């Protein structure tokens, strides 16, 4: 097998494994530091809702921002692109899809993973 063919197979294998790594989601609580290091690439992260901090609401009572903690106890303000219902206030763990801007996480999507009632 020629050297260019071997190199092509190596590059293809590397990118395939890298894509699998990026697409597999972690089961546990994530780290804001890991998300921050990726720049402005939208990613999934599971975090704890920090109920001791305030929830900012719009005129309709929907939540537009709140605070969350990661597995290391680091707190970040979660700013939502679209307001969400007050159900987030009663959640224990949520999954966010978005990216970091400094200490702010801009969330495109929010999903409740575990309710505080569970």
The mean pLDDT value for 111-116 works out to 89
- Is residue 27 scored above 80 in pLDDT? no
**How far is C-alpha 85 from the chain's CA centre?**
19
DSSP 16-31: HHHHHHHHSPPSS---
Q: What are 34-50's pLDDT values in tens digits?
A: 888 888 889 999 999 99
Q: Residue ranges per domain, the chain? A: 28-115
CATH, domain range 28-115: 2.40.50.140
Q: What are 78-87's pLDDT values in tens digits?
A: 999 999 988 8
Q: How many CA atoms lie within 13 A of 45 on its CB side?
A: 27
Q: How far is CA 40 from CA 15, 46, 61, 90, 115, in A?
A: 21, 17, 29, 29, 29
- Is residue 26 scored above 60 in pLDDT? no
The predicted model scores a pTM of 0.73
- Beta-bridge partner residues of 63: 57, 84
- The pLDDT-based confidence of 28 (bands split at 50, 70, 90) is confident
Q: What are 41-76's pLDDT values in tens digits?
A: 899 999 999 999 999 999 988 999 999 999 999 999
Q: Counting every residue, how long is the chain?
A: 118
Q: What is the largest CA-CA distance in the chain?
A: 67
């Amino acid at each position: 097998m020629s050297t260019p063919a071997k190199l092509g197979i190596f590059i293809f294998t590397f990118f395939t494994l890298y894509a699998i790594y990026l697409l597999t989601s972690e089961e546990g609580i994530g780290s804001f530091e890991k998300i921050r290091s990726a720049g402005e690439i939208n990613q999934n992260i599971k975090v704890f809702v920090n109920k001791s901090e305030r929830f900012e609401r719009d005129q309709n009572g929907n939540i537009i921002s709140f605070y969350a903690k990661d597995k290391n106890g680091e707190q970040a303000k979660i700013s939502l692109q679209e307001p969400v219902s007050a159900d987030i206030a009663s959640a224990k763990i949520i999954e966010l899809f978005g990216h970091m801007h400094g200490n702010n996480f801009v969330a495109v999507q929010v999903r409740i993973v575990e309710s505080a009632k569970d």
